[in-house]
Amino acid sequence: MIRHAALLLALTVAHAAPGLDVWNAKSEVRTVEPSASVKLTGTRKGDLYQARLTNTGKTPVHVKEIALFKIAHDLPDATALYGESFQMLSQTAGTLGKPIDLAYDELKHYKIPQPADAKVVTGMLTLTPPAGDTILLAFTSCRRFNGRFFLRPKSIEVVLDTEGLALAPGESWELEEFTFTTGPRRAALLSTLAARIDQNHPPLKFATPPAGWCSWYCFGPRVTAKNVMDNLNVIAKDSPQLKYVQLDDGYQPAMGDWLETGNAFGGDVQGVLQAIRKQGFEPAIWVAPFIAEANSHVFQQHPDWFMKGDDGKPLSADKVTFQGWRRGPWYALDGTNPEVQRHLESVFRTMREKWGVTYFKLDANFWGAMHGGQLADPKATRIEAYRRGMQAILRGAGDSFILGCNHPIWASFGLIHGSRSSGDISRRWTTFASVARQNLNRNWQNGKLWWNDPDAITLSGNMKPEEYRFHATAVVASGGLILSGDDLSTLPPDRLAMLKKLLPPTGVAAEFEDASLQIGVVHLKNRTLYCLFNWTDEPARIPVNFPRPAEVTDLWSAHDYGRQSSLEIPLAPHEGTVLVLR
């Protein structure tokens, strides 16, 4: 049974937002031992706070979690809310009174432990009361501990998950840095947050967001060498800016056996990769580095490489979380095990140096930080397990582009060039809208922490033309990677023309006026883009005011509006468009 030991920390400097006094809030250290001798100290520099926990007693103390601040507030239920999550596929929006999951619910889907009486978000939280300034609470580092926020009626706890680790007598832990600030412009607050994260976790550099083609959304796990070569021929002829040709899930015989080739490629995936390079394009490949299925060679030959359960045996993912979406249940490699680190480094060095791969889509990274398992290094957290594994991958991958997908977002700081910023795309309106909302809420990360990946642009199928324009407009507004997800050998000419208008990626994400995400502005050197969205089921007329008169054209229709200082743009239900101002 876990008991709580309380430690109160009163800071003397007041810095209160309307309805939210953070710096004067109490704190609490929650330990397994009922009478633990621990000391929590903190220093504040402006909007930044750094804490340290020390064991002042003579016996080890197992620390479950640390509530840095237990904040009472009087914010109204109508306060707009946005919060990130541990896992990429979760986000929270809505209001304090009615939080909304934009994608998966972390508790229901990933079974991440959390209080039953609280809504939990991870990493960062913004609150915008009606007609008030935005309030930002965020962790600006994630080296060892995962930072979370427990939202309850009229209270917020700022919490670090210390996973029940033992703090030895006399030992101190430096905790993750935290920031609290307010301001009238939410975008400016998030830009400042990104800059501070970059100071703590210098981002990997890659000059521009990649553009390419991905096999998954047209061929799935049954992709063949012919599928890839047919599309490569179209790309070489019509869309050479799609530089990276990516083989997605399906080439491998089993999850975990990444250096082997399944039947779909006739045992020779390397031949396809070499053919891509011979035509002047860059080979790219999908890998899920931290997971393996039970019948894989890596699991059969090295069961000691995997996270363990309480029984000392490899821990099946379904015992603690989602089992995996294909060929599960999965098992998770233990990134604290030096042999696992050598294995990961070897796999990626082989793919980079012998196979010629220059772009890696890393999927299922969440399982590298899976909760509930025992690690080879008993002093390490799951954050450290993941980060050590990722560092091994980087050593092997060399100068390749690294995309994180299905990953723990905060734990990935400084370890990836690109970050998937939404769930999977599919050819239906509800998914187009949902994925767009997920991506656009993460625009503050693009070009600062990494390049965002809004997932593939899919223009094939029988949806309404205006819905394709909405989808393509959302990709423009994200400012990140552009990867086609269609079988280009069968894509109609008008859809191929739309795809080509997306190239090359701008690298600049839109800034939105408000949470409605109706009008987003992309500031480029030689032009400005206004991205307009009608999210509703009814026609709409969207008024747009420009800061100065400009020549205006529509990107998709090429309609010339002439020189204008304002316009009212009619949009059909589910339609989006891009106005180009010069």
Question: Does 367 share its domain with 407?
Answer: yes
For residue 73, being part of any structural domain is answered with yes
Token pair 């899976």 in the structure block, residue: 370
Residue 146 and residue 187 in one domain = yes
CA distances from 285 to 108, 228, 483 (A): 31, 12, 13
Confidence at residue 265, expressed as pLDDT on a 0 to 100 scale = 77
Model pLDDT, residue 356: 98
pLDDT of 1 reads 25
Are 48 and 149 in the same domain? Answer: yes
The domain in which residue 164 lies consists of 16-200
CB 579 within 8 A of CB 562: no
| Residue 278 belongs to a domain | yes
On whether residue 336 sits in a domain, the answer given is yes
Judgement on whether residues 230 and 359 belong to the same structural domain of the protein: yes
Q: Which residues, in sequence order, are CB contacts of 21 under 8 Å at separation 6+?
A: 14, 71, 72, 73
Distance CA 424, CA 144 (A): 29
Q: What is the pLDDT of residue 19?
A: 65
pLDDT in the model for residue 513: 83
Q: Is residue 219 part of a domain?
A: yes
Query: Does 358 lie in the same domain as 243?
Result: yes
- pLDDT value at position 20? 85
Same domain, 292 and 233: yes
Answer yes or no: do 167 and 280 share one domain.
no
* CATH number of the structural domain spanning residue 568: 2.60.40.1180
Q: Do the domain assignments include residue 260?
A: yes
Domain tally, the chain = 3
Q: Which residues sit opposite 148 in a β-bridge?
A: 122, 159
Q: State the CATH number of the domain containing residue 267.
A: 3.20.20.70
Q: In this structure, are 73 and 105 located in the same domain?
A: yes
Whether residues 391 and 538 share a domain: the answer is no
| Cα gap 429→438, rounded to integer Å | 14
Residue 45 and residue 154 in one domain: yes
- Write down which residue in 200, 229, 251 finishes a domain: 200
Q: Are residues 64 and 127 in the same domain?
A: yes
Structural domain contains residue 41? yes
**Residue 54: helix, strand or coil by DSSP?**
strand
Q: What is the pLDDT of residue 261?
A: 86
Has residue 449 been placed in a domain? no
Compute the distance between CA of residue 296 and CA of residue 207 in angstroms, rounded to an integer.
37
For every one of its 582 residues, what pLDDT tens digit does the chain have, with 9 covering 90 and above? 232 333 333 332 333 455 689 999 999 999 999 988 999 999 999 999 999 999 999 999 999 999 999 999 999 999 999 999 999 999 999 999 999 999 999 999 999 999 999 999 999 999 999 989 999 999 999 999 999 999 999 999 999 999 999 999 999 999 999 999 999 999 999 999 999 999 999 999 999 999 999 999 999 988 999 999 999 999 999 999 999 999 999 899 999 999 998 776 777 899 999 999 999 999 999 999 999 999 999 999 999 999 999 999 999 999 999 999 999 999 999 999 999 999 999 999 999 999 999 999 999 999 999 999 999 999 999 999 999 999 999 999 999 999 999 999 999 999 999 999 999 999 999 999 999 999 999 999 999 999 999 999 999 999 999 999 999 999 999 999 999 999 999 999 999 999 999 999 999 999 998 889 999 999 999 999 999 999 999 999 999 999 999 999 999 999 999 999 999 999 999 999 999 999
Compute the CA torsion angle 225, 227, 230, 233 (nearest 10 deg): -70
DSSP code of residue 445: G
Are 386 and 530 in a shared domain? Answer: no
Contact 389, 379 (CB under 8 A): no
Task: Please answer whether residues 119 and 99 qualify as being in contact, where contact means their C-beta atoms are separated by less than 8 angstroms.
Answer: yes
